[in-house]
Structures are given as C-alpha cells and as structure tokens.
Structure 1
Amino acid sequence: MDLRNDLVNTRCSDPFGCLGLHPIKTGGLQLTVWRPGALSVEVLAIDTDLSLGKMLPTPHEGLFELSWPQKTEHFHYRLRFNFGDHDVTLVDPYQFASTTFSDPDHHIANRYLSEGAIHRSAPVSDRLAIDGVRFAVFAPAARSVAVVGDFNGWDGRIHPMAANGDGVWRLFIPDLKPGDRYKFEIRSQEDELLPHRSDPFAKRIEQFPSFASVVPERNQYEWQDNQWTNRPIRDVYEQPMSIYEVHLGSWRREQNNRSLTYIELKEQLVPYVVEMGYTHIELLPVMEHPFDGSWGYQPVGMYAVTSRYGTPEEFKALVDAFHQAGIGVIMDWVPAHFPADSHGLANFDGTKQYEYPDPRKGWHPEWNSLIYDFGKDHVVNYLISNANYWLDEFHIDGLRVDAVASMLYLDYSRKDGEWIPNVDGGNHNYEAIRFLRQLNETLYLNHPRCFTIAEESTAFPGVSKPTHMDGLGFGFKWNMGWMNDSLDYIKRDPLYRQHHQGQLTFSMVYAFDEQFILPISHDEVVHGKGSMLTKMPGDTWQKFANLRAFTSYMYFHPGKKLNFMGNEIAQGLEWNHSDTLQWHQLDIDFHRAQQATTRALNQLYREESALHLDHQHRGFEWLSHDDHQNSIIAFVRFNKERNEHLVILVNFTPLTHEGYRVATPATGNYRLVFNSDAENLCGSGFVVPEHYETEEVPSHGREQSILVSIPPLAAIALKYQPTTPSRKK
C-alpha cells in the first residue's frame, strides 16, 4: 500500500511509516514532511536557528523531502514553513514516535482506557525537552483518524494519528498549550468521513456551536479539604443524611437571568446549605451536555465539567468549600443512556463501538437516546473509570446513578416485539447487572468513604444489598414506592383521606427491605406536575399546613431524606430550569414558615439519634396505624441502643384533638420537641402542652399511655424523658 497516497487522501493509519526521519538504502537519512498549503520548508536545528537545509517538493503537493547521505544518527529539528505572506516555525510531531507510543503512565492507560489529551514532554537532549500534548482515542474500526483544531485550521490532512493494533490512535503534537481547541476527524472503513468527534475523555468541552474539546490546564488545584477526606470511616447508615438536590443553573440567577458561576455558588450556595442544616448536597449532572433542557441527563462529555458555570478548577473550589463546611457532595451520574449528537459517541468510528447495535436493545424510545453496550469490556471500562475519575479528581462523595430500572430490564418502556429476551428468555439485562455489580465493587474498594445511590423504581431484589449476597451492591436506593403513595395521599382532600390510610402505612411493610432514601426530587415538580405547594388541597392556610405536615412526616419516617431545591420555601410555581427559584416569595410569612420548618427539621434530625436508625426494624414501632376515621398515625423512632426514643403523631385532617390517647413504649415523661403547627411557623394557634406524663392506662396493646393535644394538619414529636429515681437521705 502506498502510504504517501493514503497520507495525501487522509486515509493514512501509519504516518510514522512515511513521515519523519528514516534511513535510506544508500546510507544516511531522509526526512519527509507533510504540510498542505506550504510553499517551501526549511529544516532548522531544534535549539537554534541554524539551517540544516531546505526541503524539496515532491510530485505530491504538500509533501517535501530532504536527504543527508552522510548523517546516520537521528537528530531532532524544527521546521520553518513559508505560506507566501508569512512564515511559521513548528516542531515536527513525526520525529517523536517514542513519545507517541510509549506510555510511562501505563497504569493510567489501563485504568482509563485512553487518556484523551494529556500534557507530555519529549526529551531531545540532556538539557532540552519539548512540551506538548499527547492525544489518544479509541476507534478500533476506523480507517484513519486525525487531530484537528485551531492549531491546524481544522484541516484533517495535517495531523494524522497512528495506530499500533490495540484500537487506540495516538499522536504527540509539540508546542500545544492549555486552551487549544481540538476534535478528532475519523474516516470509517467504508471510507466515509464522519462528523468531527469531541474527545470522549476531554476534560473540557465548549458549548454550542463548536462543542470543541479543549486542552486542559495542568492540574494545579491545591485542595484544602484534608480534614474531610481523612475523616474517620463511619457507618453511613447510622448517620443523619438530609440531601438538598440542586440544579446549579437555576438555583439562583442574577437580574439579567444569568446563572451563577461556580465561584458565585461557592459564595452563596455553600453558606445557604449550611444555614439550612442539610448534611449533603446532590447536584444534577455537571458533566458536559449540549442541551440545556436535558438538565444534564443527556451527557456527551462524561469526563468534562460543564463549562456553563466555569472551569474544572473552579468546580473543585466549590466542592472544596462544601467539604470545609462539613457538607458531603453527591453527583448524579448517567450510565443508562447517551444522546445521538453527531459530535458524541454515537456510531463513533463508523461502527457501534459504544451502543448496542440492535435498536431493540440499543435505543431508548422514552428518551430518544442510545444505550451503552454493557457487554463490551471497553464500554464497561470507560464507564467505571469515569465514575472513579469523579471521585478521584473532584473528591465527590457519592454517585446517584440515574435510571437504573431502565438498565435492568430489556423490555423497559417497550412493547411486545420491541425488545430482545436474554439467553434464558427473560427480560433481565444480565450484562447491565454484571456492570452495576462491578461498578459498585470497584468504587467501594477504592473509596471506602464513598457511597452509591440507585434511582430504581421497581421491586428488583437486592438493589442495596452487597454483591456477595447476590445484590447489586448499591449503598442506597430511592424509595419510589413511598414517594408515589405519599404524594398521592397528600393530594387528596382531607375529607377522603380516611379511605386511603393504607397509602401512608404500606411503606412500612417493605421499609427495611432496602437501604432507602425518601426522595421528593426534581421529577416531582416539573412537566405539569406543579410545585409541592400546588399539590396541597384546601385554602391558603391549609395548603401550607399540609405541606408542613407532609415535610415533617417525611423527616420522621425511616429512611434518609432528599428534597429538591424550592421545596424548602414552598415555591409557588413548578421548577423551570431556565429561571431562578422564587426567592422573592420569602417576603411572605407562609413561605418563610416553610423554610423555618425545614431548617428546624434538619436540626432536629441531626441532633436526635432516635431518627438516625433508618434501616433496621428495631428502630421503628407502630403505636397506631389504623385510626382511619381521624387520619392520624402514631409511631415510635428508637436509637440504636434503644435508650432514647421519640413518639411521633401526624394529623392529616384540619380537625384538632384534645385528650387524644396514645400508647407509649415506656413509663415516664415526654417533652414536646417539634410542632409543625407552632405559632412561629404560621400555625393555627392551637395550644399544645410542652410536657406529658404517662398514665397506667392501657392503650394500643401497651400498659401505659398519655393524653396529647394534636393540632390540625400537623405533626408533633415528643421526646422520652426517663423518670429519675429519688435518692434516699
């Protein structure tokens, strides 16, 4: 095969076979240089302007040659190109075959499959090394691949990459610097020139219209969160976890509707989360995505922090600030699907390298996006390496894995005949199940303080059980059943709630089957579903009272907590990703009361160990779950040692109850520690005593009880105060 013809026609897979210095049969060396558009080329010494000769053009336009019959040892050089009206002096990349192919960071290559664009130095002497960027991209089915960018006029003829049989194309290009833009130009085996592709491993990608990958800055960020990252390893299941879910672009905006930058979020969001008492923040996907309206759930740049709000270093500063403030950072991560944008992974090298080839398995009809082929090792490596990358590089504490149910089931959102059964004729995607188990095993092995969360909406068994127990290995699972039932219940007019009490109590049948998080997420306040406030029935006072009662019920129910931004201020409108939250509504007492309720619940949740044991039967007991007529539930939350407990009562009607008898698990005194109907929370004014003493009056199958006063549409929490025996004199 004529390598030169391939070179001229942008089909070359072995540019080092014909470019650079090569020995010739008669002895000596010959240099071949390829630069379309150049009129002449002069060879210069690598470290001076000493001319080593002027090159001669060949019959192939843009191809130049020069021989040194007497030189037998390779040497390094620069090239001065003349383009008629100007000269350009460059270091020829095709003299650095060893730098292109050698891999001193071999462990990185194995871990991340290919490094994308990384800074490298090519030594040319004891005193001189040439800095540049080494590009690598996995495209095993490509006929040829070239690096294109600002540095070569986006001309795919100038920098063809080299393949050595492992499927990864590589090239070291000297003198490139951070901020240089680039993509890959790929020609398929069918000789089709594909749209320019962004680097799948790019650390930065520009927004529309270029979607260009960007040579990253050298990693110079100095973390200040050592106290956080070196904190003692604790049982996360026995710690409070109250998560504030945030879409960074719409949490708060400037008057011109500009989103805040990472630095501005560091200054405003971090203190707000601390002041509100949350333990964690969860960020909707921050990896690069081309469409704002996807909220990040259609990512193209899995390794790139979105440039909408700043640089990767500025995002690190935001995470760092959260950690210094004692707040854990969770990030939404999307391995379930990816968009078919022409600059992304779809049909990447002219074949289905990343997606399942058959659309019955490789296309999401619900989201109009592609599905990763979990049966391919390089896809699994790509995704697991990416998850590790975010925990390693950005100190992320947890990953919430999106749309797990769609990964587990081959017939997810498909009709009969639109899906392919597995080898056993069933609907489980065995490849995805293996991937998820391997993902969790890898993350927990390498990051003992991290945790993973599954958004999984079915009854698939063992989602949050260890893999050695045949589970998927997630740390937590979103409790979608609780969310659907409880929201359906709270929307009802209180008059009819008595007929649907089971929607409140059924969750306790399975509450300890998984390690649950109770989510009221972004999905519940968008797409015409209305805000949390607009879901509530009744007049204005009742709507806010209902919301306070529901929020309290969520905090007292077993399971970690997650609330989407805006819920804590009872936002009136449903969430809009292109607008700010309705912060101005905090000028209204009712909205301030909801914010104060959330803050008080977060504080109580942090302080009371009886609310921390979320995933064991011994942490919960019903006192009364069948008072349908009054729509009241009563239960106990115990701490691990069962030496502390809270009695919880929630009244889901607008009727008050004086002298309501409820059993207690112990004899002694109870003190009111929370009342969602308190006067400072815009309550009804109904007086609730602060102290109660048990009586030896049987109730609900127990020997002692108390008479309590229960406000309308409200939750109260009573803390047990053991009776101190009197001392004999």
Structure 2
Amino acid sequence: MILEKSVVEYLDNYHIGKCYNSYEYFGAHMIHAKERKGVRFTLWAPNALAVSVVGSFNEWDDNIHQMERLNDNGIWHLFIPSIKEGEQYKYKLILPDGRHIYKADPYAFHSEVRPGTSSIIVDLNQYNWNDSSFLQTRQAYNPLTSPINIYEIHLGSWNVKENSTLEDDIYKSLHPKYFYSYREIADQLIPYLKEMHYNFIEILPLMEHPFDGSWGYQVTGYYSMTSRYGTPQDLMYLIDTCHQANIGVIFDWVPGHFCRDEHGLLYFDGTPLYDGIDHPNWGTKKFNFYRSEVRNFLISNASFYFEKYHIDGIRVDGVTSILQMNFGLDNETYVNEYGNGEDLHGVAFLKELNTEVFKKYPYAIMAAEESSSWPLVTAPVEDSGLGFNLKWKMGWMNDTLQYISMDPLFRKGSHDLITFSMHYANSENFLLPFSHDEVVHGKKSMIDKCPGSYEDKFLTLKLTMLYQITHPGKKLNFMGNEIAQFIEWRYYEPIEWFLLEYDAHQRFHHFIKTINKLYLQEKALYEKDYCDEGFQWIDADNCSQSIFSYIRYYNKEDFIIVILNFTPVGYDEFRIGVPYEGEYRILLETKHEPFRKTKIKYVKTEEVPMHNFEQSITISLDGLQGVLIKKKRTKKS
C-alpha cells in the first residue's frame, strides 16, 4: 500500500515531534484505498524484527499478513482489504532475541470482553450525535465562575441487573449477566442526576482494564473504552444523552502508570518502549515521560476523548506519582540529575498536556488529584504553573473527615481542622472531594464515620454536607453518599437503594437534593469561589461551642450566612453579627423538614454590635444543626 506523503511525513515525525492526533494515524482504521474497502493497520515497534497482523479474518494465521516497516523509526503498516467491523485482531512481534509475543493494539478503539484480550476493529465515526446545542454553549463556559456539582460514579456498581450475584467468578460470566450497558444505564442515571441536581458526572476509569477489582485504575487499553458495558457507540449514547440534559461528563484518567499484563504495553517490542520505573506498591510501570512518542501517545489520548467522545473534562489520577520519581512515597530510591526526587520529565509532560488541552478545548475541566504541597498546580504554565484549572483539596477532605469522626466533646480541641482550610483557600483553584477513596478499605462509609446515636449520625452528616456545599470550591461526591449508605462501597455490589425505603435515609436523600438545588440557584455559593471577596468569617474562633459562622458573597445585596453547630448543645437564643441592617430570612435548617421553609420566616436586625459588625440578629440554634440565612432584598435591588 502506498501512503500519502502527508501521512508518511507525520509518521516520520512521530518520534521527535509533537503529534497530538496520533490516533488518526495509528491503530486499525477502516478506509478506502484504490477503490477497495479495508483496514489500515499502523504500529510503532522499533525493536521488532518482524510484525504480522493475526485475527479472526485470517484464522489467526501469523504468516498471511506480514506488516511492512515504513521507516527507521520503527513504524509498521499494512492495508488488508475486505475486513469488516467487529473482527478481532492482535499483533505478533518477533523480538530481537528470537522470541515472539502477541500484543493488543495500543491504539485499539475497542476490545474483547475480559478475560479475552484481543483488539476489535470498529468505526468510531458512525454515531449520529445530537448534542450540538450543548457543544455550542460550552464554548463560552468558564468552570471557575460556574457551579460544578459532580456525582462520581463507578458504572459497574451504581446499579446491576436483577438477581445478579457479583461475588461469583466474574471471569466465567460475561458482562450481560451483571452490568447494565452504557445505553441501559443512561435511561436510569440521567433522570436521577436531574432529580438530584447534579450537573456533572465523573466516571471512574472506563479505559479497558483486565481486573474489575482495580476499578479501572490499571489500564491496558487507553483508546479502548471498556467492553464490559457495551460498544463505543453505546458510550457515545450515554454522553450524548447527558449533554442533551445539560449534564457535563468528566473522565477519570490514569496517565501516570500502566499495568503489567502481557498483552498490554509492558515491554511492548521486547524492550521498555513505554516503560519507566516500577511502582513498589501498585505492581505497575510508570510511563517513560522522557520519550516524545510516549508523550504523544498520552496527550493524543486526552485529545481523543474530547474529539471522539465529546467529553467536558478530565480528572488526572495520581498526579503526585507523575511529579515525583519515587511516587511521593517516603524513599529516595531514584533521584534526578540534580540529586532530588522530582521527575523533571513528568513535570514537563503535565505542562505540555494542559497547554495542548486548553489550546484546543478552552472550556475543559482539567482537575489534578494531587496530594502533596506541590506549588502552582492550577497556575498557568506561562506563570511557572502546571496548568490545571482545578485541584482536589485533599487536605480539606482529610481534616474535615478527621473532625467529624471525633466525639463532639473533643471537637473544641481540634477547631483548626475546620478553620485552617481558609488560610490557603485561594492558593489554588480547589475542588472539594468526598470520593470513592474515602469509603473503602476500612475507612468506613461517610455516615459511619460520624459518632453518636443513629440520629446523631444523620445530623452530623447533614452538617458535613452543608459545610461542603457552602465552603469555597467546586463539589464532588461519590455515589452512595447521597443516601447515607452504612456499608463501604463494594465494586461487586450495587448501591443499597433499598435504604430509601427507610425514613431516615429518605429524608437525608431529600436533604441532599435540596442543598444541591440551592447550590445551583445561589450565585453566592459558586461565582466567587476563588476570590477573597467571596468569603468572610463571622466567627472563626468559637472553639468552646464548636460553632462556625461565615458569609458567602456574590455582592453586597446577595450573600448567604452560614452557621454550623457541631455539638449536640442547642441554644434558644443565639446572637450573631450581620453586615447590614434589615430583615434576614431563615433559608434552610438542617434539623427541620421541609429543609427550605415553605412559610417564609424573617428576623430583624438589632443595633447590638457583635462579631465586628454594628448589627446582629438572634435565632434559635439546635444541637448538631446547620442554618443558612439570607438578607431580604431591598426594593431597588
């Protein structure tokens, strides 16, 4: 097959240039060549002595379809006519030592359902998208000044088909027995998201992975969305339907390391082609970010999700392990040329990644799951930052969960666990996560972290969720948090939806729906997340009562006062300073239903100085209660 000059030039440049759409050239593409339909196969394997394509179309005979080496950079290609969509294939590589191995296509767009490992030929351009209105609107989207309320989901365990027993040998029964397909789950999930007022979903990694128990974080197929839940077109339907409902979609992505399964990237052509150092705990290989081909492979992969799947953002997993040669662990096994553990090439990769993404997709969410104190994670690359626009606020999450886990009698001694977060609130553009990682491995579910009686647990969790929704920063909660599930998340079981048959769980579910809706409606809770003028403490020092009070501002006439009482002690009259004279409405009380008052209740200010304000109001404040208060607008406003 004679390739076009532009294709040859691109492939020649792959090993030294910035080729960020490499998925258009590598892999298996259904094309017309010389009036014949077929598939063009292209592979990078510079150290292989020979490569052949084997598959269901040639009875897996490794002698029929030998690939041609295109150039000295190790790019192989072959056009095979008459191959149809759905055919399975692999590459057979002859290694320098004479051995041979069979590898899945690194650029495969679809894969066999595990435990099978073959790649599958598919045409990604056949789906008819219906989200043009959403795509046009998002061009002007600014994540930093918009409400972002994310529902984090693992598709395989959000819900499963009736009578499924996922503890069976998963590898003996394929996905139809257990999982709803992408299409099937769309019809359940999207109405639920709308009902609960989440405006984004973040899906745990969908890239093909061999082991369900890895949750998708040990990847073998970066361009292949897992076949557990159906075809690429089925996933496109899910995303398309989300967009038609004005719900954004974020992919969880793992560009730091890959798993060691033989059919994957490990020692792909008999040499460490993609491979960097070993992770001592995860049993994975770090990517070698020094190689331009590896950077092209990964940055093209990010672009691929935006282009082919219309996603709205990426959560980059394990950023610390990319930044640090020793993965952020307490050792110094590896050092760079300057004698420290910073991975200079990993840093450069992240900057290159974010520069390219925002150049092409300025509306994108690029969120870093970064657990260290690395500076300027969300600063622009031109200002010496890494270039992300959001960073998970892991310190806030850890401090908050530690605080709510304490007996209320001892919380006054750890008051700073709540107040400290505001000391560095604007050092990055933070996202506040209560993610899947916090409800597994013996950490307990969110409600089970809370001490006290059955009722106290629910009251404390309501307080916690109100604290999250009113604290500066975007929001994320893992599925199950919204129904106060008592057991930890198990990837092989669905959420315990039956809990909604119980009054306490149903009321909590309604509470989450209420504050989610309030969050989307009130600009004071999101417009100025990253501005000093968006937040003001009323009283940050009331450790003796474990009561926190602060203001979230949109402007001087539009603000919300937040009062959080983290002890069971209540007060018939609790006085609090307010910034302006007038009438204030009790907007929400966590302890009383309906949570948003149907009968409007106003409190008038008094000229009694309090908390450095000239005016104050008096309200009743029950134990373990949160209250939201909003000033009545004047006529001119």
TM-score by length of 2: 0.93
Distance 2:219 2:327 in 1: 21
Q: Distance in 1 between matches of 2:634 and 2:59?
A: 82
Deviation at 1:111, TM superposition (A): 3.6
1:704 — aligned with what?
615
- What is the rounded CA distance, in whole Å, between the counterparts of 2:275 and 2:65 in structure 1? 28
C-alpha separation between the residues in 2 aligned to 1:520 and 1:417?
Answer: 31
1:473 deviation in Å? 0.3
Q: Which residue of 2 aligns with 1:244?
A: 151
Q: Does residue 673 of the first structure (1) align with residue 593 of the second (2)? A: no
- The structural deviation recorded for 1:279 is 1.2
Which of 278, 286, 301 is the matching residue for 1:371? 286
The answer as to 2:370 corresponding to 1:456 is yes
1:253 counterpart letter in structure 2 = V
Preserved contact between residue 29 and residue 123 of structure 2 (Cα < 8 Å)? no
Deviation at 1:661, TM superposition (A): 1.1
- Structure 2 counterpart of 1:292, one-letter code: D
Q: 1:235–1:105: structure 2 CA closer, same or farther, 3 Å change rule?
A: farther
How far has the Cα of 1:218 moved from its partner? Answer: 5.3
Aligned position for 2:57: 151
Q: Verify the 8 A CA contact 1:243 1:282 in the aligned structure 2.
A: yes
Deviation, structure 1 residue 688: 12
Spell out the pairing of 1:60-79 with structure 2 (5 A cutoff).
none
Match of 2:477 in 1: 563
Q: Deviations over 1:682-717 (max 9, x none)?
A: x9x9x9992111111111122111112112212110
1:573 Cα offset (Å): 0.8
1:658 aligns with 2:572: yes
Query: Equivalent of 2:320, from 372, 391, 405?
Result: 405
Pair 1:386 & 2:301 matched:
yes
Q: What displacement does 1:411 show?
A: 2.5
Q: Which residue of 2 aligns with 1:98?
A: 2
Q: Cα gap change, 1:417/1:319 in structure 2, threshold over 3 Å: closer, same or farther?
A: closer
What secondary structure is seen at the aligned counterpart in 1 of 2:508? helix
Q: Does 1:593 align with 2:499?
A: no
Check whether the contact 1:365–1:413 (CA below 8 A) recurs between aligned residues.
no
Determine which structure has greater relative contact order: mean sequence separation of CA pairs < 8 Å that are 6+ residues apart, divided by chain length: 2
Tell me: CA distance 1:414–1:222, structure 2 relative to 1, closer, same or farther (3 Å): same
Equivalences for residues 256-295 of structure 1 within 5 A: 256-257=163-164, 258-295=178-215
Quick one: distance in 1 between partners of 2:599 and 2:406? 26
The answer as to 2:238 corresponding to 1:332 is no
How far apart are 1:334 and its partner, in Å?
A: 0.6
- Supply the AA of the counterpart residue of 1:216: V
Distance 1:651 1:414, change over 3 A: closer
1:177 aligns with: 84
Cross-structure match for 2:606: 695
**Judging changes above 3 Å, is the alpha-carbon distance between structure 1 residues 218 and 679 closer, same or farther for their aligned structure 2 residues?**
closer
Matches of 1:694 and 1:105, distance apart in 2: 76
Alignment of 1:356-505 (within 5 A): 356=276, 362-416=277-331, 418-419=333-334, 421-505=335-419
Q: 1:653 to 1:512 in 2, by over 3 A?
A: same
2: CA distance, partners of 1:594 / 1:472: 39
Structure 2: give runs of 5+ residues left out of the alignment: 165-177
Q: Deviations over 1:30-64 (max 9, x none)?
A: xxxxxxxxxxxxxxxxxxxxxxxxxxxxxxxxxxx
CA distance in 2, matches of 1:106, 1:250: 46
Q: Identify the residue that residue 620 of structure 1 maps to in structure 2.
A: 535
2:94 to 181, 184, 187: 187
Question: In the superposition, relative to structure 1, how do residues 715 and 375 fare at CA in structure 2: closer, same or farther (>3 Å)?
Answer: same
Q: Which residue of 1 aligns with 2:174?
A: none
For the 8 Å contact 1:463–1:471, the answer to whether it is kept is yes
CA positional deviation for 1:346? 0.3
Identity over the aligned pairs, expressed in percent? 41
**Separation in 2, partners of 1:705, 1:415:** 51
Is the CA contact (8 Å cut-off) linking 1:593 and 1:680 kept in structure 2? Answer: no
Counterpart Cα distance in 2 of 1:337 and 1:438: 17
**Deviation digits for residues 657-686 of structure 1 (CA, Å, limit 9, x no counterpart):** 1211111111111101111111346x9x9x
Question: Aligned equivalents of 1:374 and 1:336: distance in 2?
Answer: 9
- The reply on whether 1:161 has 2:67 as its aligned counterpart is yes
Q: Secondary structure at the match of 2:157?
A: coil
After the TM superposition, which segments of 4 or more aligned residues of structure 1 sit over 6 Å from their partners?
A: 105-109
Q: Deviations for 1:113-135, whole angstroms, at most 9, x for unmatched residues? A: 44200012221xxxxx2211111
Determine the C-alpha separation between the residues in 1 that align with 2:538 and 2:599. 20
* Alignment match, 1:26: none
How far did residue 106 of structure 1 move? Answer: 6.8
Name the structure 1 match of 2:462.
548
Question: Is the CA contact 2:332–2:341 (under 8 Å) kept in the aligned structure 1?
Answer: no
Does 2:32 correspond to 1:121? yes
Are residues 1:573 and 2:487 paired? yes
CA RMSD of aligned residues (A): 2.0
Whole-angstrom CA distance in 2 between matches of 1:713 and 1:620: 23
Structure 1, unmatched stretches of 5+, are: 1-96, 124-128, 357-361
Match of 1:21 in 2: none
Q: What whole-Å deviation, never above 9, does each CA across 1:80-110 have from its counterpart, x for those lacking one? A: xxxxxxxxxxxxxxxxx315x7666976984
In 2, the alpha carbon distance for the partners of 1:642 and 1:406 equals 43
User: How many Å separate the matches in 2 of 1:723 and 1:216?
Assistant: 61
CA distance in 1, matches of 2:601, 2:283: 56
Query: In structure 2, what is the Cα distance between the partners aligned to 1:105 and 1:656?
Result: 75
Which range moves more in the overlay, 342-351 or 141-150? 141-150
Query: How big is the shift at 1:379?
Result: 0.2
Structure 1 SS opposite 2:57: helix
Whether contact under 8 Å (1:669, 1:723) holds in the other structure is no
User: C-alpha separation between the residues in 1 aligned to 2:422 and 2:309?
Assistant: 37
Distance 1:382 1:150 in 2: 27
Q: In structure 2, how many angstroms separate the alpha carbons of the residues matched to 1:209 and 1:595? A: 38
Deviations 1:467-511 (A, max 9, x none): 111100001000000000000000011111111111010000001
- CA deviations on 1:374-421 (whole Å, 9 max, x unpaired) are 0100000000000000001000000000000111112235454522x1
Q: Deviations over 1:284-313 (max 9, x none)?
A: 011111110011111111001111011100
Q: TM-score, normalization: structure 1?
A: 0.82
C-alpha separation in 1, matches of 2:88 and 2:548: 61
Compared CA separation, residues 103 and 146, structure 1 to 2 (3 A): farther
Q: Is the 8 A contact 2:124 2:233 kept in 1?
A: no
Tell me whether 1:198 sits opposite 2:104 in the alignment. yes
Contact 1:688 1:709 (C-alpha < 8 Å) held by counterparts: no
Task: Find the partner of 2:130 among 213, 219, 224.
Answer: 224
Contact 2:404–2:450 (CA<8 Å) still a contact in 1? yes
1:719 counterpart residue number: 630
The residue type equivalent to 2:97 in the other structure is E
Alignment-mate amino acid for residue 708 of structure 1: I
- Cα gap change, 1:146/1:642 in structure 2, threshold over 3 Å: closer, same or farther? farther
How much does 1:145 deviate?
0.8
The one-letter amino acid paired with 1:274 is K
CA–CA distance in structure 2, aligned partners of residues 204 and 678 of structure 1: 51
- Corresponding letter in the other structure for 1:624: D
Q: For 1:124-173, what per-residue CA distance to the aligned partner results, in whole angstroms no more than 9, with x for missing partners? A: xxxxx221111111001111111111122222222111102231111111
